Structure 1
Amino acid sequence: MAGLDRAEKQQLLSYLEDHLLGATGGVRLFEAASKTWQGTAHGRTLARLRDEIDGERTTLLRSLRAQGHRPNPAKMTFAYLSAAAARLNPLNVRRTGDGPGAQLELEALQSLVRGKEALWETLLVLLDAGWSFPGYDRESLGRMARRAREQQQEVAAIMTATAAERFRR
């Protein structure tokens, strides 16, 4: 993070760490959703998205570590506790593809991916302002922002393809 003073660097690292925490919970929510839709094409899509997001989370963690930053243990404990709660699938406790719980689950997944897209877009702006991030360049950040938009579209496609049936049950 060339050209940053200590306070600026700490603010940015805190922002990145918060996205790492969100990604930790997001992976678990995608896991829960893939179980909801297990045995269907939607389940396979959600499992693939979970794997992609988990990979992006790992890359973000590596970037933080490359900058000499170790995530706050208290925050990470909170993230893992939240992730454990996500495994219980509080939005869709029945773990079915019908009703408002399934709708809320899909909407939450879209929101998570939108937040991730905002991260990549923010880093692109900062990169243009002369900041640097280990493990990321303009091409990789642009690719990740585009992929986040595609991921949102994939979740939205599941939501729209199943909405009428979901609320008929």
Structure 2
Amino acid sequence: MSWSGNDRRRERSVYDKPLRIYLNDHLAGATAGVELSRRVARAHRSSARASEMRRLAEDIDQDRQSLIELMNSLEIAPHRYRMYGGWIAEKVARLKPNGRVYRRSGLSTLVELEVLRLGIEGKHQMWQALVPVAAELDQLETSVLQGLMDRASAQMTTVDSLHHAAAASVLTHRSG
């Protein structure tokens, strides 16, 4: 993916620090999102919708890579400690009570899909927030950002469909 049509370097501005912080925060969230989406896909590898879940995890991983490429093009170094923080946060979130002690519950899937949906929505908002930045910087192309927003919208639609099916399965059947 190319972020720039030319090789001119951007001028440093007062927006550098907020942009670095903003993108690194989103990179931490993207790292957690990749881990979560992979876990959901693994947990449902035998389900009828396994291919959708696998594809969703692949797309979320590709979006994280796009963010890293964008940061590189802007000469913004990823803060590894934030990425590790996102990775750790996803692992800690697994400890939430789900009504069962040793195995997954349908509630786990329901909540995980809700968290994924929030993350994807945040990612969409990030790409959207970068559109005005692209008008000022040669390294960003609005057409690439629009493609990423479109993909995020499609991901939200997929997660909404998966969530609807999970909610119907988990919340409408009595379990012992």
* Smaller-chain TM-score bracket: 0.7 to 0.9
Higher helix share: 1
Tell me if 1:60 matches 2:67: yes
When structure 1 is superposed on structure 2, of 32-41 and 71-80 the one drifting more is: 71-80
Change (3 A) 1:68 1:138: closer
Tell me if 1:142 matches 2:150: no
How far residue 63 of structure 1 moved from its aligned partner, in angstroms, is 2.0
Equivalent in the alignment of 1:13: 20
Residues 1-50 of structure 1: CA deviation (Å, up to 9, x unaligned): 83551x31121121111111100000011011112322123222122111
Tell me if 1:40 matches 2:47: yes
Which of the numbers 159, 165, 169 marks the counterpart of 2:169? Answer: 165
The answer (yes or no) to whether the contact 2:34–2:61 under 8 Å persists in 1 is yes
- Unaligned 5+ residue runs, structure 1? none
Q: Give the TM-score normalised by the residue count of structure 2.
A: 0.80
One-letter code of the match for 2:22? Y
Q: Give the TM-score normalised by the residue count of structure 1.
A: 0.83
How far residue 133 of structure 1 moved from its aligned partner, in angstroms, is 6.2
Identity of aligned residues (%): 25
How far residue 103 of structure 1 moved from its aligned partner, in angstroms, is 1.7
Task: Give matches, 1:52-91, under 5 Å.
Answer: 52-85=59-92, 88=94, 90=96
The answer (yes or no) to whether the contact 2:109–2:166 under 8 Å persists in 1 is no
The answer (yes or no) to whether the contact 1:23–1:57 under 8 Å persists in 2 is yes
Q: In the aligned structure 2, how far is the partner of 1:26 from the partner of 1:91?
A: 20
Q: In the aligned structure 2, how far is the partner of 1:91 from the partner of 1:4?
A: 47
How far residue 141 of structure 1 moved from its aligned partner, in angstroms, is 0.7
What is the DSSP-based 3-state SS (H/G/I as helix, E as strand, rest coil) of the residue aligned with 2:137? coil
Equivalent in the alignment of 2:5: none
Structure with greater Cα Rg: 2
Task: Give matches, 1:19-34, under 5 Å.
Answer: 19-34=26-41
What is the DSSP-based 3-state SS (H/G/I as helix, E as strand, rest coil) of the residue aligned with 2:10? coil
Residues 111-130 of structure 1: CA deviation (Å, up to 9, x unaligned): 11101100111111332xx3
Which of the numbers 91, 95, 112 marks the counterpart of 2:104? Answer: 95
The answer (yes or no) to whether the contact 2:110–2:166 under 8 Å persists in 1 is no
Q: In the aligned structure 2, how far is the partner of 1:54 from the partner of 1:162?
A: 23
Equivalent in the alignment of 1:2: 10
Change (3 A) 1:133 1:71: farther
Q: In the aligned structure 2, how far is the partner of 1:131 from the partner of 1:71?
A: 22
